[in-house]
Structure 1
């Protein structure tokens, strides 16, 4: 199943670290700006259905300004103040899943190309818990112009890496964005099981690989 995989690409949020660790740290900030975040996530939902955009950041601000009844520059400032500005400091206090860095090292030693593709700017996470030096490519869907699960985003990543889509295994924790999206684009997929699937032993049939932790992921891929 994995004999033709040459590249292993990872999502970040909820995949390299537990989403709950971030949510707990941002809870007060989120509740303080509840109106903004409600409208922001509605805008992100709409953007996932859009065709590729030449300037996704600008279009996002325009959509948000319409929902908040403010000017586009004001919406851009809200985005910077509430999303793009504060997150880097928060992520300095968030720890990744166990064995994440070891996984990247072992994959490189085994001869795989390793990449990251995230909806939010990867630079928000600094050196991404030490894995950045082991990456052959790091991509933000916002900069590409289309959020996951757009096939366009996965296609651009594949083109930049110089490999056909069928030679790439994408690893993530979200069925729609990290399994359905890359699968529809022609990639293979690996799904990090949520706690309830692990507890009930329910795999995700649409994914080529299901794993409960990174030790198991390495056992599957490097066997």
Structure 2
């Protein structure tokens, strides 16, 4: 077992499933809503660098309103329909990476707490492919008021788990949001390497753990 670690927390998008697999599936949907996503992505870039907000969804709608000329209620409705509700059917067709559930099960049996911390609503993915039953804590950063890499949601995650940040290993695929964000919050980080890093044997030096598949992660965690 990793010394001092009592919980393993996971990002969702690109960490539990393949992002390219998802992007290929939503190409027609993205093209249909291309103009919307051009503006929405600008809003999200701003939000990734915004201090904790008392009402994230209201501020997100205000930013979108400024870019589009729509009213704030209209903006909020459009984001809900296209981003939060509109993508739900696509996640139902997505499969996790190999050995994800096996990994969750073994890590849980080894005595660790398991958590989810995602920038998009976890409930958008239903029961998280059956993984929610293994989780002690499931959090969406939007409801907490700040997106990663802010240390704020990581701090709430630690509080909800009843642990110190240094007792948590955070698993993610984004260098900026997951690795740097969790390490700045005082946690250990585990980085799931993209294909090219695996091929060229190029681990991320800033991550505490680099892994290629979930069986490998499980072995590192519970060995």
| 1:137-176 deviations in Å (ceiling 9; x for gaps) | 0000000000000001100111111100000000000000
Cα distance in 2, alignment partners of residues 200 and 118 from structure 1: 29
Q: Does 1:220 align with 2:207?
A: no
RMSD over aligned Cα atoms: 0.9
Shift of 1:220: 1.1
Give the secondary-structure state (helix, strand or coil) at the position aligned to 2:15: coil
Q: Does 1:208 align with 2:208?
A: yes
Runs of 4+ in 1 over 4 A off after TM superposition: none
Q: Does 1:39 align with 2:39?
A: yes
Q: Does 1:152 align with 2:159?
A: no
Question: Which residue of structure 2 aligns with residue 62 of structure 1?
Answer: 62
Which piece of structure 1 moves more, 32-41 or 187-196?
32-41
Shift of 1:89: 1.4
Q: Within 5 A, what are the aligned runs for 1:11-160?
A: 11-160=11-160
Shift of 1:185: 0.6
| 1:18-64 deviations in Å (ceiling 9; x for gaps) | 01121111111111111110111111110111110011011001001
Shift of 1:2: 2.5
Shift of 1:81: 1.5
Give the secondary-structure state (helix, strand or coil) at the position aligned to 2:190: strand
Shift of 1:219: 1.5
8 Å Cα contact 2:2-2:222 kept in structure 1: no
8 Å Cα contact 2:122-2:138 kept in structure 1: yes
Cα distance in 1, alignment partners of residues 157 and 43 from structure 2: 24
Shift of 1:12: 0.2
Cα distance in 2, alignment partners of residues 117 and 188 from structure 1: 14
Give the secondary-structure state (helix, strand or coil) at the position aligned to 1:129: helix
Q: Within 5 A, what are the aligned runs for 1:188-199?
A: 188-199=188-199
**What are the ranges of 5 or more consecutive residues in structure 2 without an aligned counterpart?**
none
TM-score by length of 1: 0.98
Cα distance in 1, alignment partners of residues 68 and 85 from structure 2: 19
**What are the ranges of 5 or more consecutive residues in structure 1 without an aligned counterpart?**
none
8 Å Cα contact 2:189-2:208 kept in structure 1: yes
Cα distance in 2, alignment partners of residues 14 and 137 from structure 1: 19
- How many equivalent pairs are there? 223
Question: Which residue of structure 1 aligns with residue 175 of structure 2?
Answer: 175
8 Å Cα contact 2:5-2:169 kept in structure 1: yes
Cα distance in 2, alignment partners of residues 177 and 2 from structure 1: 23
